[in-house]
Amino acid sequence: MTDTMTDVIDFKALVAAAMAVRRHAYAPYSHYHVGAALLTPSGQIFVGANVENAAYPQGSCAEACAIGTMVANGARRLRAVAVIGSGPDLCTPCGGCRQRLFEFGSVETPIAIAAADGSFEIVTLGALLPRAFGPNHLPLGHLPPGHLPSGHLPDAPLA
């Protein structure tokens, strides 16, 4: 990517944060450990690891865990994301997590998709989720408090 905003993001550090939290993943069934790191516009990094459950649908993806932590700490926007799995191939967010990330990002949000060894490629959320459905598709009267018509939430916690 040649966007100047992504040029100043330390993707190696973001991938390293995702790699560090991946060690804490709970994946006794698939044995596929995932870590995610979310960078906010204020420079905060929130991390999450996947948590599996014997009742398979009840597990949580690393990205969802990181988003929950980000929101619980009052942040509402993404500047960049890193996702790393435990396999040799680049790990991309699942479809549900792509939608979750779009709720707090945009089509331009850069995502470092990484392999277990830390090698990564940068793609945009728009490339992973083309023609995304977002808050801007909903009538303004149905938007949650704090949503802007563009589909972005403010950085400040909602009152």
Residues 6 or more apart whose Cβ sits within 8 Å of residue 145: 158, 159
Distance of CA 119 to the CA centre of its chain: 18
* Whole-prediction pTM: 0.85
State the helix-helix crossing angle for 11-22 and 62-72, rounded to 10 degrees. Answer: 110
The catalytic residues are: 63
Domain 4-134 has CATH 1.10.240.10: no
Q: What is the pLDDT of residues 71-124, one digit of tens each?
A: 999 999 999 999 999 999 999 999 999 999 999 999 999 999 999 999 999 999
Q: What is the pLDDT of residues 17-32, one digit of tens each?
A: 999 999 999 999 999 9
* Token digits of residue 61: 């993806």
Q: CA 79, CA 20: separation in Å to the nearest integer?
A: 20
Domain definitions of the chain by residue range: 4-134
Cβ atoms 150, 138 nearer than 8 A: no
